[in-house]
Amino acid sequence: MAMTKDEMKKVVMSKRHDYTKMILGISGAVFALFVVLALLNLTNQVDWSMRALPTTDLNENGVIDKPYEIGLDTNENGIIDSGDVFDGHDSGDPWDMDGDGDRQEIDGIPDQGQSPMQRFLNFLFIGIGIMMGPYAFYSSKKQQDTKDIEKRLPDFLRDVAEAGRFGMTLADAIVVASSGRYGKLTPEIKKMAAQIEWGVTASETLRLFSERVNTPLVRRVVTIVVKASDAGGSVADVLTMVAHDTKEEQYSAAERNLQMSTYLAVIYISFAVFLVTIVILNLTFLPKIRIAGTNVAAAAEAAGIEGGVGGASLDVTAIPAIQICFFLAVMAHAIGDGIMAGVLQSGSIANGMRHSIILLFLGFLVLTVL
């Protein structure tokens, strides 16, 4: 049997638009695109480094040498130190691992801004951020709208109770209260008033309202009001008590959120300290290890000694792998700490993903720029 026009209006008025599936679909497609770009960089089919390769021919021999190889103090601080080291990656392929027939020797001279693995991780984590970001912020917006609705619910209940004390039925009191201003709750009240004017009972209208908002607080309030209305008697007294209890519960929740904000600040500060530590290691410790290793190897070679000076040597080839481990550690901390922050603040993983996105892009930006 086909629905009448009025029945169709009732159905439309009882629904709230939800774009979660659409956002997840678009975000998933963009994430898949970034995964493809990451794989292309990993296989060296493209070179989309996020750091510029130095293009200064220091000794004017036609190639870009590392400063410490030619003994130049490029930052003019009186010594050849970490500030003179060029970052970059030598993409030499002596075994033709990519199968393109071009066997390039590894000569130690960087010809790419970043290694294929680093470029792969760059695009992978950007894709993860894009996939998580829209859903996280949309979910947080929905939660905030719901909180705004719940915040004004006690005011609406008190106004309905006052109207009921003048002899109005519950349905008439809802219609009268719909002329008031209740912030984010106002559109929902107008929907209830319109449904009542179309002939929907007050109990059914409240039930549809609880389905639209769909939170434990609203469901509990609606259940109590509907039971009191069906049982008869003074609904106004019930509404007043429910409004008071709801307000008290909101005060308690606000106090808990205020206490949890301290832990949120601790998480952000701890992540900042960890990030600064990684930056210091990347900018000072590892470059000095690279220079020391190169000097030890050069001294051993000049003296004709194998295995380093006095049998000691530094394997500087592991430094790029260490830097990638640092990068992965920062990204893992950003995602994990953000989710923990959201759970502590509001008990919501979706809200935590919002914090994860903020920390993720903060860490990525700092590590990429520095």
Q: Within 13 Å and on the Cβ side, how many CA atoms surround 115?
A: 14
Strand partners, 225: none
The chain-wide mean pLDDT, for the chain, equals: 79
pLDDT of residue 266: 92
Q: 239-244, long-range: CB within 8 Å, 24+ apart, which pairs? A: 239/157, 239/158, 239/160, 239/161, 239/164, 240/157, 240/158, 240/161, 242/157, 243/153, 243/154, 243/155, 243/157, 243/158, 243/161, 244/154
**149-254 CATH fold:** Receptor-associated Protein (1.20.81)
Of these ranges, 1-15, 73-87, 284-298, the one predicted with the greatest mean pLDDT is 284-298
Question: Region 302-328: what's the mean pLDDT?
Answer: 72
Checking if the pLDDT of 232 tops 90, the result is: no
Share of the chain above pLDDT 90, in %: 22
Out of 97-111, 145-159, 342-356, least confident range: 97-111
d(CA 337, CA 332) in angstroms, rounded, equals 8
- State whether residue 86 is helix, strand or coil: coil
pLDDT in tens, 75-93: 556 665 544 555 677 776 6
Checking if the pLDDT of 328 tops 90, the result is: yes
- Which of the 8 DSSP states describes residue 50? S
pLDDT of residue 109: 62
Closest CA to 366 of 281, 297, 245: 281
Question: Region 300-329: what's the mean pLDDT?
Answer: 73
Residue 192: both structure tokens together: 């209830």
pLDDT in tens, 18-69: 788 899 999 999 999 999 999 999 988 888 888 776 655 555 565 555 555 5
Across the chain, which distance is largest between two alpha carbons, in Å? 106
pLDDT in tens, 139-184: 888 888 888 888 888 888 888 888 888 778 888 888 888 888 888 8
